[in-house]
Structure formats: C-alpha cells, structure tokens
C-alpha cells in the first residue's frame, strides 16, 4: 500500500484525476464519502466562503478540480426596498496577503502555520448579481455534482431590539427562487460580526442570535431550507464556545470554528493557534460529564443523546489530510478550507494544475500526511475497521458521536 501510494503521489503531480475518490476506493479500499448539510459527498474537502467563491470562473475551476462543495461569498441580506441593516459589512475586499504565522508561546523554530489577511467583509455588489451567481452554482451542481451553497449575513439585533424579519423573508425567498429545486442549502455566517465588532461583547446577545436565527430563516419561506451555522471563535473562554454550539442546536449543521481575532493588529487570523483551540473545544464536547453552559445553566453534555444535535463540519488550519482526520475524529463529517487553496505554488508538491488541484493532490495523496496515508495508519492502529472490505471516512465521525 505504501509503495502504491508513493507511486500515485508522484504520477498525480502532473495531473490529478477528477474522480480521485473512485481511484482511492478501488486501489486502497478506502471510502472517502462524506456529508455536509445531510448531502452525500464523494469526499470531505470543500471550499469555505470567501474571496475564492465569488464568480463563475472560480466555481468552474473548483468543479473541474473535483472539489466536493463550495460555499459562496457571504451576501448581506436586504428587505424588499433594498435596505440592509448590516450594510456596513458590504465592504469591498482588499488584496489578500498570504503569510506565515508562528504559533503563540512556541520557542524559536517551533510550529509555523499559514494565515490570510484582508480587510474586507461581505459581498459588495447587488443582490441581483448574487442571485445570478447562485443560478450558476445551481447549474454547475446539477451538471458536475459539486454542491454550491449560498452564504448570508442577516440582521442581528441588539438584545432589546426586534429582528428585521423583512430581510429574512425577502433574501431567503429570492435565494430559494434562484435555486429552484428544494431543499435550499444555506450557510449563515456569524463570523464577521463577532470578530472585532462591539456587538460581540455581549454573551446573552450572541446566544439569542444563535437560538433564533435558524428558525427565522426556515420560517422566512415555505420552501424547505437546511441551515448551516458558521460559528466564530468568540472572544471568551472554551466554555462559551460550547455554549454557542448548544444555543445553535436548531441548525442542521455547525461549521466549527472560524478564525481568531488579533486585537493588536485588528485582523482575524488562522494557523496553529486556531486549530489548537478548535480541536480542544470539539474534544471537550465529547468528553463524558464535561460541564458547560447550556441555556445559561451548567449541565453535562452526552454526545449523541439528542437526535436534534446538528452535524459538524470542521474548519481552521486545514493544510493536510491528517488535519482533516483530526477534525473527523472529533465528530466532523466534512471540512471547509480557504487558506490552503492560496499558498505560493512552491508550497505544493504537484507541478501542474490549478491551486485547487494541487491542494487536493497534497491533501489526499501525500504519503505521510495525506488522507489515504492517515486512514491506512488508523486502520493499522485498530481505530478503523474494514466493513465490506473497505474503511470508511464517515466511521470516524460516527465513532466520535458515540457515548464514551
């Protein structure tokens, strides 16, 4: 198996087959099938919302590379008059800067990860232009199988204020019309507001949003909607991260967790600090009897005890297949990446293809840190067992959800 993997790694440097999941299954007996928002995926790797999913050419490139799904740039919701309560977030992106960031507290020469810095926020064009992109994504999803998911930033009121339901009705309804065939898959992005804004300073306010927003999105249109909530790293302790997960239990899926915030530089960032915290919080959530806040009370969380607990998708410092497996072993059924698709070409072992293809080549076939190598290693350790002659990626998330 090791020799086969090394040969595949070398030959796929020039051209990655689009249907690499079938090759992995036939050659290694590994089923990479994954899920996002209860949709079956051929493998777990998707593109998170941002600058890499805001036009048709980027979506076509992602589909041609064989990506499992792509979340569109976040649109700012509006009502039927075009008014946007969160208009301040419709700011044009500055040029993205890809750079190294050392992990906090590490000695010189310690772990150094990648982060992308920019100053922009959400979609800064019209809703009509966004709907055109949604229709393009819909057609691409139907022709290639790559799922395309719109992302929305709706009105988030202060604690004593009402929600502007007109924004929810108008924007969700227009998205449903553009998509056509139900259900509408939709991601609600909380991360921009809760990074450096004053709105992020009130815990009760955040909990209210997470409790109420998923149901308001569903109530906004008669069309069935599956809602993923992209959770942020709030500027509080790990217990509040867990409280946010509980508060968002009305969502169909949780994306855990978006970037950290650097108070000194005034920017969000990633790297090892991000994945360390994300994995620690997800691991704590699975620990039997761990007390944390739920609806303002301290209660133990029993994984899998409630059928209403949303499924999980991991995000944060995912620069290897091994890191995807770390998230999977903590309950995540898929993964969203952004930074790894933007590295300098010299950082990818592949010599040909788009950045997306080169990234997938490394994530899947790297003989040391790729998905195939990692799953074979977990099988050798007895963590994964073959069923019907195959090991299955989704077994990792299923095992994580079982009571310990």
> Higher confidence at residue 279 or residue 299?
279
**Lowest mean pLDDT, pick from 71-80, 205-214, 271-280, 307-316:** 307-316
More confident residue, 261 or 198: 261
For 147-165, how does the pLDDT look when each residue is reduced to its tens digit (9 = 90+)? 999 999 999 888 889 999 9
pLDDT of 200 strictly over 80: no
The DSSP result for 205-271, as a single string, is HHHHHHHHHHHHHHHT-SS-EEEEEE----SS-HHHHHHHHHHTTTSSEEEE---EEETTTTEEE-S
Does the structure show a pLDDT above 90 at 14?
A: yes
- Whether residue 235 is predicted with pLDDT greater than 90 in this model: the reply is no
User: Looking at the chain, how many residues does it have?
Assistant: 404
Most confidently modeled range among 193-197, 201-205, 264-268, 319-323: 319-323
Position 53 scores a pLDDT of 95
pLDDT at 363: 98
Residue 90 CB: number of other CB atoms within 10 A? 19
Give rounded-to-5 percent helix, strand, coil for the chain: 40, 20, 40
pLDDT digits (tens, 9 = 90+) for 352-371: 999 999 999 999 999 999 99
Across all residues in the chain, what is the average pLDDT?
Answer: 89
Residue 318 half-sphere exposure toward CB, CA atoms < 13 A: 33
C-alpha of 348 from chain center: 22
Give Cβ neighbours of residue 117 (< 8 Å, ≥ 6 apart): 96, 97, 99, 267, 268, 269
Q: Would you say 220 and 169 are in contact if contact means Cβ atoms under 8 Å apart?
A: yes
CA 218/CA 185 separation, integer angstroms: 11
Q: Which residue has the higher pLDDT, 109 or 288?
A: 109
Res 133 pLDDT > 90: yes
**Of 244, 231, 135, the residue nearest 187 (C-alpha):** 231
DSSP state of 369: T
**pLDDT over threshold 90, residue 80:** yes
Cβ contact 138:148 at 8 Å = yes
Residues 6+ positions from 250 with CB-CB distance below 8 Å: 211, 214, 215, 308
pLDDT for residue 149: 98
Place of tokens 């604690």: 159
pLDDT at 34 over 50: yes
Q: How far is CA 327 from CA 192, 206, 331, in A?
A: 23, 25, 7
What pTM was estimated for this model as a whole? Answer: 0.93
Is the pLDDT higher at 402 or at 77?
A: 77
pLDDT of residue 171: 98
The model's pLDDT over 287-300, given as tens digits with 9 standing for 90+, comes to 766 544 333 333 33
Residue 97 · residue 19 · CB < 8 Å: no
**What's the pLDDT at 404?**
64
């Amino acid at each position: 198996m090791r020799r086969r993997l090394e040969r595949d790694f070398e030959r796929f440097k020039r051209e990655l087959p689009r249907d690499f999941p079938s090759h992995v299954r036939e050659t290694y007996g590994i089923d990479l099938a994954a899920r996002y928002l209860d949709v079956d995926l051929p493998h777990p790797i998707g593109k998170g919302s941002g600058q890499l999913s805001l036009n048709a050419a980027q979506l076509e490139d992602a589909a041609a590379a064989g990506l499992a799904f792509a979340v569109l740039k976040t649109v700012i919701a509006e009502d039927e008059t075009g008014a946007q309560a969160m208009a301040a977030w419709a700011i044009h992106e500055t040029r993205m800067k890809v750079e190294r960031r050392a992990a906090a507290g590490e000695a010189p020469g310690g772990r150094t990860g990648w982060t992308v810095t920019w100053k922009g926020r959400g979609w800064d064009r019209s809703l009509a232009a966004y709907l055109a992109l949604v229709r393009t994504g819909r057609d691409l999803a139907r022709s290639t199988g790559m799922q395309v998911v719109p992302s929305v930033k709706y009105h988030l009121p202060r604690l004593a204020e009402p929600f502007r339901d007109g924004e929810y009705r108008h924007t969700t309804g227009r998205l449903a019309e553009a998509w056509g065939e139900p259900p509408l898959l939709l991601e609600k992005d909380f991360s921009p507001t809760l990074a450096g804004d004053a709105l992020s300073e009130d815990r009760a306010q955040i909990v209210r949003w997470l409790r109420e927003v998923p149901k308001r999105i569903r109530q906004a249109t008669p069309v069935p909607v599956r809602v993923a909530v992209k959770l942020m790293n709030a500027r509080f302790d790990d217990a509040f991260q867990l409280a946010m997960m509980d508060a968002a239990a009305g969502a169909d899926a949780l994306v855990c967790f978006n970037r950290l915030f650097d108070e000194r530089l005034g920017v969000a960032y990633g790297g090892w600090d991000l994945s360390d915290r994300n994995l620690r919080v997800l691991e704590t959530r699975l620990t039997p009897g761990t007390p944390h806040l739920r609806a303002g009370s301290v209660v133990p969380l029993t994984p899998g005890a409630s059928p209403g607990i949303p499924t999980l998708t991991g995000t944060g410092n995912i620069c290897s297949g091994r890191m995807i497996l770390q998230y999977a072993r903590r309950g995540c059924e898929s993964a969203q990446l952004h930074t790894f698709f933007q590295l300098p070409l010299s950082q990818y072992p592949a010599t040909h293809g788009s950045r997306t293809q080169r990234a997938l080549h490394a994530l899947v076939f790297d003989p040391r840190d790729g998905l195939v190598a990692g799953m074979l290693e977990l099988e050798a350790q007895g963590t994964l067992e073959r069923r019907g002659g195959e090991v299955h990626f989704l077994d990792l998330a299923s095992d994580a959800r079982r009571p310990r």
